[in-house]
Chains A and B, each alone.
Chain A
């Protein structure tokens, strides 16, 4: 299958080209289309920065990156990428339904294909059926992230970028949303890049887990999880193989920070 992302010697930094502080240096990364990649790393290793380069929110200083066979800009213009933030970033003055429908209201003119209003269907899918007229402040943290996911899915993205989406949730809600996300991924075949601080979450969700090292960010561990799991990226959290993989990643993380 084709690759969703191909990054070669990618340099990313803030500040001018000369004086830049490099956040990512010489990063090589290939992500297969339709796969689920978890990204672990210490704070400041450039996990979020990597997602922002893929989403065309940040330009690299050097190296090349191709997303879905084109430039990040082309992919963003086609609305093929969805981004989910840790703080859900719902607009507080809009109801759940109107938040989910945001992609219909903005950026449509630059879009060549038409997006259908699947908000009712998506709210059903994310278990938000009875909440469509609520305002964000009336929702729990888990419900807010469900709204954010439904909003990202409305554009039918081929690539979903998730920046610690469940980091602020309690463990029970987080586990439940993990399972829902996996079910969603199996149904849609969307490529997912999932940044997290939790080793358990990274291992449970990812077909593959990479660990980034800090200062400057680079891939220091690349672990294929498929041998540890059953068909369709299924596993139990307490499987011996999964626990062993977690220990291996923990050791890598300790070296990375």
Chain B
């Protein structure tokens, strides 16, 4: 038998309690077990970094935010445009889609040094890495989405003598939106990963650079604060995507 569903109060209260119990155990139990602060600082120590070094954190958040956002927009936009081209030209799709899939198998960490060789040390290579990492899932999802209308739906539009562009705007695109948004949700996290990976390899600014510096300087409270900030950035991007999705897709 399936267990009875939780009450609405419990579905909110339980995750809060769960997180609180973990934080408390982290704060009070880990030090008792002899885990040194330079490996796992306590939550209050990490929070202290946000108070003491707030300008430093914000200074490093800004470039990562810009790179992740710019990469997110350009990568997804390029993927959507290429998907539109591919579904309208079977010849182009047959010729180039396998090559695109091959590029997708190259690990982003292996590709990043090449991108930095090409674009130098500024923000551009980080944007490109974030864009590349967003690009493939969106391309594949968007092609599948644009092709997901049923045979009957296509026949309906043909009976009405719809033009190719009418079929695109009134059938293919609305059909593709749910799949586009599911890849945008994934991209909201991966864009931040891309920006941080780019900063590891060649930068002295950004959350990725801060993570590397803090690690080498044994400033583990600062390291953990940078991690908290990176994941907050991903969550914020994710929430924006979900908000837009809820306003766009009503069914």
Provide the residues of chain A in CB contact with B160, threshold 8 Å: 79, 102-103, 106-107, 155
Q: Which residues of A contact B163 (CB under 8 A)?
A: 106-107, 109-110
Q: Which residues of A contact B (CB under 8 A)?
A: 52, 55-57, 76-77, 79, 81-83, 85, 87, 89, 91-93, 102-103, 105-107, 109-111, 135-137, 155
Given contacts A106-B170, A135-B250, A135-B251, list 8 more A-B pairs with CB under 8 A. A56-B159, A79-B160, A83-B156, A91-B153, A91-B171, A93-B250, A111-B161, A136-B251
Smallest Cβ-Cβ distance to B174: which chain A residue: A93
Complex contact A93–B161 (CB within 8 A): no
- Give the number of chain B interface residues (Cβ < 8 Å): 21
- Cβ-defined contact, B157 with A106, below 8 A: yes
The reply to whether A91 and B162 form a contact with Cβ atoms under 8 Å apart is no
A92-B159 in contact (CB<8A): no
B174 touches A77 (CB 8 A): no
Known: A91-B171, A105-B170. A85 touches B249 (CB 8 A): no
| C-alpha gap A76/B157 in the complex (Å) | 11
Contacting residues, chain A, for B159 (C-beta < 8 A): 55-57, 76, 81-83
Tell me which residues from 132 to 158 in chain B have a Cβ below 8 Å from any Cβ of chain A.
Answer: 150, 152-153, 155-158
Cα separation A149 to B24 with both chains bound (whole Å): 63
Contact status B156-A89, CB under 8 Å:
yes
What residues of B have a CB within 8 angstroms of the CB of A102 in the complex? 156, 160, 170
Given A106-B170, A135-B250, A135-B251: A89 in contact with B153 (beta carbons within 8 A)? yes
Query: B146-189 vs A: 1/0 string, CB under 8 Å?
Result: 00001011011111111100110011001001000000000000
* Contact (Cβ within 8 A) A106 B174: no
Residues of A within 8 A of B171 (CB): 91
Q: Tell me whether chain A's interface is mostly helix, strand or loop, or mixed.
A: loop
CB pair B152–A89 under 8 Å, yes or no, is: yes
| Complex CA distance for A144 and B155, rounded to whole angstroms | 18
User: Is B251 in contact with A93, judged by CB distance below 8 angstroms?
Assistant: yes
**Is A107's CB under 8 angstroms from B155's CB?**
no
Task: Give the chain B neighbours of A91 by CB distance below 8 A.
Answer: 153, 170-171, 174
Q: Are B152 and A85 in contact (CB under 8 A)?
A: yes
Please tell me if the beta carbons of B156 and A93 are within 8 angstroms of each other in the complex.
no
Chain B residues within an 8 Å CB radius of A136? 251
* Closest partner residue, chain A, to B157 (CB atom): A106
- Determine the distance from Cα of A109 to Cα of B249 in the docked complex, in whole angstroms: 29
Question: Which residues of chain A are near B158, meaning CB under 8 Å?
Answer: 56-57, 76
* Closest 6 A/B residue pairs (Cβ): A107-B161, A106-B162, A107-B160, A106-B166, A89-B152, A83-B159
Min C-beta distance of B172 to chain A, whole Å? 12
Known: A91-B174, A93-B174. A83 touches B155 (CB 8 A): yes
Provide the bound-state CA to CA distance between A76 and B152, in Å.
Answer: 16
23 inter-chain pairs at a CB distance below 8 angstroms, sorted by A residue, are A56-B158, A57-B155, A76-B158, A77-B161, A83-B156, A85-B152, A85-B156, A89-B150, A89-B152, A89-B153, A93-B250, A93-B251, A102-B156, A102-B160, A102-B170, A105-B170, A106-B170, A107-B157, A107-B161, A109-B163, A110-B161, A110-B163, A155-B160
Flag if A92 contacts B251 (CB, 8 Å).
yes
Q: Which residues of A contact B167 (CB under 8 A)?
A: 106
Which residues on the A side are within 8 Å of B153 (C-beta)? 89, 91
- Closest-by-CB residue of B relative to A93 is B174
Q: How far is the CA of A172 from the CA of B60 in the complex (A)?
A: 68
In the complex, the chain A residue whose C-beta lies closest to that of B156 is A89
